[in-house]
Amino acid sequence: MAIGSVAFKYSRKLGVAPRLCWDSDVLHSAFVPSGRIPLPGGLSNTRLDTTPELWLGCRRFGSVPPSTDVTYEQLKKLLAGSKSVVIDVREPWELREYGAIPGAINIPLGQVNTALQLGPEEFNEKYGGELPQQVDNIVFTCLAGIRSKTALDMASELGYKEVQHYPGGWQDWAKNDQN
């Protein structure tokens, strides 16, 4: 049996104490038969909360990471439904020379980190779109998927939760969009 992840719950009395998040098929009793965990300093034990709603904020560290890749078909659906912010991290000259995915905001890779930390008005003024919120679905794209993966990593480090990239990039888009 595998533990899904470890989270930390803050308590003013106890400081930071580790809490376990289990996968749905793992029973708490397999790891802590009494349902209690020992606390440092001889403090009394605390019952583990096992209700799912208390674990919603728990980050999973399972062996299978969620997919961050988006296919051409998935990206078309996301754009049609306005369910994502698409950010093209190529340089402006590349968009002029090769073309751009309709609806994508252009933020060159070297500016992504700074851009995602701007205020909404400044972001809109500089990039001509709405600043994505940390809970928005963002899809990064570039020419062939290398820079978009780097941008995805940057956004993740800034706390963005729903980040993906289109590994085929503009090359794949142009090939599929002609069909």
Q: Write down the catalytic residue from 21, 115, 131, 142.
A: 142
Q: Is the pLDDT of residue 177 over 70?
A: yes
What are 150's two structure tokens?
A: 């780097």
Determine whether 21 is an active site residue: no
What are 116's two structure tokens?
A: 């995602």
| Nearest CA-CA partner of 117 in 60, 79, 159, 66 | 159
Fold of 72-177: Oxidized Rhodanese; domain 1 (3.40.250)
User: What pLDDT does 26 receive?
Assistant: 36
Mean pLDDT (the chain) is: 73
What are 80's two structure tokens?
A: 């049609």
Three-point CA angle 143, 81, 75, nearest 5°: 25
- What is the three-state SS of 93-148? HHHHHHCCCCCCEECCHHHHHHHCCCCHHHHHHHHCCCCCCCCCEEEEECCCCHHH
Which phi and psi (to 5°) does residue 153 adopt? -65, -40
d(CA 114, CA 97): 25
- Per the model's pLDDT, the better-predicted residue between 144 and 64 turns out to be 144
Q: Is the pLDDT of residue 44 over 80?
A: no
d(CA 37, CA 44): 9
Sequence ranges of the domains in the chain: 3-55, 72-177
The residue with tokens 């751009």 is 100
The verdict on pTM exceeding 0.75 is no
pLDDT band at 75 (very low <50, low <70, confident <90, very high): very high
User: What pLDDT does 1 receive?
Assistant: 37
